[in-house]
Structure 1
Amino acid sequence: MNVVIWARVSSREQKEGYSIDAQLRACRDRAIKNGWTVEREFVVAESAKRGAERVAFNEMFRWVKANAKREGIKAILSHKLDRVCRNMRDAVRLQELEDVCGVQLSFVDNQFGPGAAGALSFNVMAAVAQYYSDNLRSEVLKGMDEKVRQGWPTGLALFGYLNVADKNEPVQPHPEESKAVVRIFNLYATGQYTFKSLAQKLADEGFIYRPSTPRFCRSSLSHILNNRFYAGELHRNGNVHQGSTGF
């Protein structure tokens, strides 16, 4: 029997030591034990790129649907149900593969019997997987809201700041970039500079925007000067919070 392997791990799970390699090893061992041939492997680590899981899942779904008969694909092999299916929409699509192409789901850890009882078990576990995913998203958003309320921005630090591993002060001034930000505001406040002349002045004084783009340009200066974050404000969900960052 020919199968494809699907493996997925989130950035949070990677930090907890749950690796892609462990999933692939378990799936490959199961395939060897059962005498199955692995035609293709689909792997996604969510930290690689936002939305990577959805892109990879759609690619896997389309490939299996298009090649199931020609390649003799009979199953999608994954470590557990929640690796391949985290919402009811995906569960329906995977069931469509079985109905249309005869491609079943097979798992290393989860096994579902035939008939109505097996279908019920699958649907219940798919619903639980969706609940876990929805609850995790809710908790992440809650954490982001609280972080902003405490005065700290979420995501990557803006120019002039650094993300650091400090729970009490997770965003701190960059030793060099912060000087450039202060200089930009001081010079522009005089009213004597356009963006073009300000960029030239900064270049003359040796300030660098990015290693790959050393010179400040109109867009970078406009972004800095018009961003309320540099005035100590954090905007989230229509609310304004007092920032805790400063130079």
Structure 2
Amino acid sequence: MKLNQSGRCVLYARLSVTKEESVSIARQLQSCRRHAEARGWAVVGEFVDDGVSATASRPEDRHGWRALLAAGEFDAVIIWKVDRLARRVLDFLHADETLQSRGAGLVAVDDPIDMTSPQGRAFAVMLAVFGEMEAEAIRARVRAARAQILKDGRWPGGGIPYGYRSVANPNGPGRVLEKDPERVEWLAQVVSRALTGQTVNAIATWLTKSGAPLPARKTERVSGSIDWNRQTVDGLLRNPVLAGMTPRNPGRPKSAKRVDPFSVLRDEHGEPVVNEALAILHVDEFAALQDMLDSRTVPQARKRAERQSTSPFLSRVARCVECDVFLCRGTNQKRSMLYCPKCRQTIGRTALDAYLIDRLLAERGTEEVDGLTVEEAWARAGHDDTARRTVLVSQLASLRIRRGVVGRYFDEDRVLLSWHGESQST
């Protein structure tokens, strides 16, 4: 496909993390505009994914790229470099195939490629291969550097565990952890209360009423009150630093996948490396504490009479984007929710159910199901959630939930939904 001088194009820019040496979104778009102007193409749209990793996400899972695909007619997509679109060859080829299906080509400014020609397509695939190799090399260097830092007993950075603080390493470069005099006594009391049988919710309530200082990354609410929650306390009690052990990946953000609390630095005999100066309890006590927490948080571990029933409306319907497994039904503080059994991401059911029902009736209400329209079948189902699930599933091609910001209200951008016969939408 060749574009004429009156061709229409859209611009796309992506950036993972802004750094001194990175090419900003603004600079990427400026280069793309100049390229379009030089070729006599009219720019009909600009789309951005800022703070999004190409290694961790496919183009079709990004808000900006999906908005681009949903835009009106265009003949080409201009990007700054191939790795701005994808760092995996298969992701790149899939994105290019999607553009081809709508008669559009891909053009990269800094890489000498033009996907509107066969030669350009072949060269672009080679660049994508090198981009994937570069990404893997970067990951390998980061893993090696982190492993060496951990081996040296230094702190690799990231979120500092509650009750501790980061100080300059007295024995060399970098930083190390030490107990924080302001918070370590609070942490010790939290551990003591948990070991004597208090629930996580009860401990959170006690901390709030006692005015315990929050973790450094938390902020006080506008009202000025200090509120602890169940998730924060549970996270404190699952950190292996409590037993003086070093997590394999300390500093992992709270919104990331839950890490095995026993994935820690070990010696040549396979035993955990323990820093007694940081330990608040023994390794065996830490293991017992984890068993207690797991027995309380997994609904299946409770007696059937104690379990709270949940609606089957979304049973085995929604999948986790990252883990590709069905989300499970559960409750959190007596509110219905879905959670991923692997990465533990959650989403509340109240707003999600209402959102899905509204879209089902608005977008598929006139479609036929078992001789009735969707609206008629839905009305007949009444309050029977099993029957309502049947109506939803009859129209649903895919429902995937991606991770959101912890504590944020319902965000419809987390919901990746597509109906039968339609492309994925949000």
What is the TM-score of this pair, normalised by structure 2?
0.46
SS of aligned partner of 2:58: helix
Name the amino acid aligned to 1:121.
F
Name the amino acid aligned to 1:194.
Q
Match of 1:231 in 2: 243
Q: Does 1:194 align with 2:198?
A: yes
Match of 2:40 in 1: 35
Name the amino acid aligned to 2:75.
K
Match of 1:120 in 2: 122
How big is the shift at 1:232? 0.7
SS of aligned partner of 1:14: coil
Match of 1:148 in 2: 150
CA contact (8 A) 2:10 2:78 kept: yes
SS of aligned partner of 1:35: coil
SS of aligned partner of 2:113: coil
CA contact (8 A) 2:13 2:28 kept: yes
Please report the RMSD computed on the Cα atoms of aligned residues, expressed in angstroms: 3.8
Name the amino acid aligned to 1:73.
F
**1:130 aligned to 126, 129, 132, which one?**
132
After superposition, the Cα gap between the structure-2 partners of 1:76 and 1:200, relative to the gap in structure 1 and judged at 3 Å, is closer
How big is the shift at 1:233? 0.7
How big is the shift at 1:168? 1.7
CA contact (8 A) 1:97 1:104 kept: no
Name the amino acid aligned to 1:156.
G
Tell me whether 232-241 or 128-137 shows the greater mean CA deviation. 232-241
How big is the shift at 1:111? 2.3
After superposition, the Cα gap between the structure-2 partners of 1:61 and 1:9, relative to the gap in structure 1 and judged at 3 Å, is closer
SS of aligned partner of 1:233: coil
How big is the shift at 1:72? 2.7
Match of 1:73 in 2: 74
Deviations 1:79-136 (A, max 9, x none): 1222223221122123313532221111222223675543332221111111111222
Q: What is the number of residues matched between the two proteins?
A: 239
SS of aligned partner of 1:157: coil
Match of 1:159 in 2: 162
The 2-side partners of 1:72 and 1:16 are apart by: 35
How big is the shift at 1:47? 6.3
The 1-side partners of 2:230 and 2:66 are apart by: 43
**Larger RCO of the pair (alpha carbons < 8 Å, separation 6+):** 1
After superposition, the Cα gap between the structure-2 partners of 1:55 and 1:118, relative to the gap in structure 1 and judged at 3 Å, is closer
What is the TM-score of this pair, normalised by structure 1?
0.74
The 2-side partners of 1:55 and 1:107 are apart by: 16
How big is the shift at 1:206? 3.8
After superposition, the Cα gap between the structure-2 partners of 1:161 and 1:119, relative to the gap in structure 1 and judged at 3 Å, is same
How big is the shift at 1:14? 1.9
Q: Quick one: percent identity of the two aligned structures?
A: 23
The 2-side partners of 1:97 and 1:16 are apart by: 32
| Structure 1 gaps, min length 5 | none
After superposition, the Cα gap between the structure-2 partners of 1:27 and 1:106, relative to the gap in structure 1 and judged at 3 Å, is same
Q: Which has the higher helix share?
A: 1
| Structure 2 gaps, min length 5 | 1-6, 249-259, 267-272, 280-426
Match of 1:246 in 2: 278
The 2-side partners of 1:93 and 1:206 are apart by: 53
**1:9 aligned to 8, 12, 15, which one?**
15
